[in-house]
């Protein structure tokens, strides 16, 4: 009897234990589920805000495209469900800030649209270039403004050795040819880049531009350069001589200017097709003497023509022989003239600085091929500019000289420390390289 009671008691205890464990398990199950749910929430990736043009793009349906032939501001909006009356109101209200007629084929634009079934455009953003953008906002009120994307400037160093020409040296290392053009401009009166020697070497400190930290926007400027040509060293340091107007120039380690008052040529040319020659004879005219009082620089149609020195435009016109031409008075002594332009960019009375584009190479007037005929006057007489002892550019002022020499000290140390990569021993007796730069 006692054993029977004990057996029943044991069975009851086991039953109570199972029930208790079940209750505890059920009690803990919701908490476990909550914890699991929280874990899932915590692991879910958060959607980061993406900002561009000053807008959080996550708040809109973003439509990107480029302006195509036949497109207009009105047509783009109309095809995206904006009514004609609204388009007219937008154009009229925003016209003082943005001329909607100026959108160009191939330029990108963005529409920020509402997140609903209608996808109604709220803003139109046009990008005339990589850096600038125009916002026409018509969500609550209509307004337009121009802004720029954030630009990051990264300073870089490079050294190279000439094997054929400077362009090839840069291209072999994947660098922009713009760097070659900028260096040739700096050394325009110091080194002839079409007659570099094999083994010539150079260093440069320059700045690259990046839009939004990632989009490469080209070379901004050169800070300093060093060129060893035929064993002779040539330093160049950029220095701001007029902070008010942002005027800079390049000087050597002794504060002497590298430039002359005149550039050697008004254009990036292929060859000199005809030189200044007062005794030129032309078979077409019976082999008679027909003086050529200019220098012809052959170049492709559309190549920019620049002013070889600063001055005031005294003529911007067209004649049957000269075609489109520009004449510039530089001072009481010197004048220059540029003939056969495709199109002129400046008008009479304009002041131009050395290097400013004044027109483009063409074939207007009496010419048999695309070129610019460059004419040079000294004291009212046309002369050969290549045979003139032209004046140097304005030297650095004495009050700035001390400041300049102090400024370039750390930069000279920096460029001197840039190593030459795989530079062979320089041998001056090696043959000249005559390819273009």
DSSP state of 419: P
Its pTM surpasses 0.75 = no
Supply the CATH number for residue 299's domain.
Answer: 2.70.70.10
Q: What pLDDT, on the 0 to 100 scale, is given for residue 397?
A: 83
- Cβ neighbours around 258 below 10 Å, total: 21
Q: Is residue 249 part of a domain?
A: yes
Q: Is residue 7 part of a domain?
A: no
Smallest CA-to-CA distance from 431 within 125, 138, 205, 200 is with 200
Query: In this structure, are 127 and 219 located in the same domain?
Result: no
Residue finishing a domain among 114, 148, 182: 148
Smallest CA-to-CA distance from 323 within 353, 350, 301 is with 301
Q: Is residue 360 part of a domain?
A: yes
Query: In this structure, are 288 and 369 located in the same domain?
Result: yes
Hey, what are 33's tokens?
Answer: 């589920």
Query: In this structure, are 248 and 188 located in the same domain?
Result: yes
DSSP string across 132-160: EEEEEE-SSS-EEEEEE--EEEEEEEEEE
User: 3-state DSSP call for residue 227?
Assistant: strand
Supply the CATH number for residue 131's domain.
Answer: 3.10.450.350
360 close to 346: Cβ distance less than 8 angstroms = no
DSSP string across 251-317: E-TTS-BS-BSS-S-SS--SEEEE--BTT-EEGGGTTEE--B-SEEEE--TT-EEE-SS-EEEEEEE
262 close to 309: Cβ distance less than 8 angstroms = yes
348 close to 311: Cβ distance less than 8 angstroms = no
345 close to 323: Cβ distance less than 8 angstroms = no
Q: Is residue 92 part of a domain?
A: yes
- Cβ neighbours around 238 below 10 Å, total: 18
Query: In this structure, are 307 and 161 located in the same domain?
Result: no
Residue finishing a domain among 343, 369, 387: 387
Q: Is residue 366 part of a domain?
A: yes
Query: In this structure, are 203 and 233 located in the same domain?
Result: yes
92 close to 138: Cβ distance less than 8 angstroms = no
Hey, what are 219's tokens?
Answer: 């070379």
- What averages of pLDDT result for each successive group of 10 residues across the chain (437 residues)? 53 51 49 51 60 90 94 92 91 86 91 92 92 90 89 92 88 88 82 83 94 84 93 92 80 87 81 74 54 86 92 93 94 91 95 90 90 92 84 78 94 94 49 40
Q: Is residue 190 part of a domain?
A: yes
Structural domain including 73 reads 51-148
Q: Is residue 265 part of a domain?
A: no
Q: Is residue 36 part of a domain?
A: no
Residue 409 to residues 5, 142, 397, 405, 415, Cα–Cα distance (Å)? 106, 53, 18, 7, 10
Domain count, the chain: 3
- Give the Cα separation of 252 and 234 in Å (integer): 7
Burial call 385-400: b when 16+ CB within 10 Å, e when fewer: beeeebeebeebeeeb
User: 3-state DSSP call for residue 224?
Assistant: strand
- Cβ neighbours around 100 below 10 Å, total: 21
59 close to 101: Cβ distance less than 8 angstroms = no
Burial of 25 (C-beta count, 10 Å sphere; 0-12/13-18/19+):
exposed
Its sign, for the CA torsion 94, 97, 99, 104, is: negative
408 close to 167: Cβ distance less than 8 angstroms = no
């Amino acid at each position: 009897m006692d054993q029977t009671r004990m057996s029943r008691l044991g069975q009851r205890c086991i039953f109570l234990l199972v029930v208790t464990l079940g209750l505890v398990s059920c009690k803990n199950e919701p908490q476990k589920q909550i914890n699991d749910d929280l874990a899932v929430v915590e692991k879910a990736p958060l959607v980061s805000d993406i900002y561009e043009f000053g807008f959080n793009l996550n708040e809109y349906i973003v439509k990107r495209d480029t302006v195509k032939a036949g497109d207009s501001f009105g047509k783009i909006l109309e095809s995206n469900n904006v009514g004609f009356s609204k388009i007219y109101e937008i154009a009229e209200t925003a016209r003082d800030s943005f001329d909607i007629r100026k959108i160009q084929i191939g330029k990108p634009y963005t529409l920020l649209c509402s997140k609903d079934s209608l996808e109604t455009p709220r803003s139109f953003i046009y990008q005339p270039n990589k850096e600038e953008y125009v916002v026409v906002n018509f969500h609550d009120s209509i307004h337009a403004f121009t802004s720029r994307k954030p630009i990051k400037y990264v300073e870089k160093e490079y050294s190279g050795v000439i094997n054929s020409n400077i362009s090839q040296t840069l291209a072999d290392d994947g660098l922009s040819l713009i760097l070659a053009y900028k260096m040739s401009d700096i050394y325009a009166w110091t080194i002839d880049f079409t007659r570099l020697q094999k083994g010539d070497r150079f260093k440069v400190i320059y700045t690259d531009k990046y839009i939004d930290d990632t989009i490469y926007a080209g070379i901004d400027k050169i800070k300093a350069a060093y060129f060893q040509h035929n064993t002779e060293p040539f330093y160049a340091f950029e220095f701001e001589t007029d902070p008010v107007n942002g005027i800079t120039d390049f000087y050597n380690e002794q504060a002497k200017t590298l430039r002359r008052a005149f550039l050697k040529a008004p254009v990036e040319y292929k060859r000199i097709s005809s030189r200044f020659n007062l005794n030129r004879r032309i078979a077409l005219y019976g082999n008679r003497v027909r003086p050529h009082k200019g220098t012809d620089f052959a170049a492709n149609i559309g190549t920019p023509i620049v002013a070889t020195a600063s001055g005031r435009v005294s003529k911007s016109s067209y004649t049957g022989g000269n075609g489109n031409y520009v004449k510039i008075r530089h001072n009481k002594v010197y004048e220059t003239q540029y003939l056969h332009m495709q199109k002129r960019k400046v008008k009479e009375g304009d002041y131009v600085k050395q290097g400013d584009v004044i027109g483009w190479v063409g074939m207007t007037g009496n010419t048999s091929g695309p070129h610019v005929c460059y004419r040079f006057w000294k004291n009212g007489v046309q002369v050969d500019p290549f045979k003139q002892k032209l004046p140097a550019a304005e030297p650095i002022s004495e009050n700035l000289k001390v400041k300049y020499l102090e400024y370039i000290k750390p930069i000279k140390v920096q460029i001197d420390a840039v190593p030459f990569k795989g530079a062979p021993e320089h041998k001056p007796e090696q043959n000249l390289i005559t390819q273009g730069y």
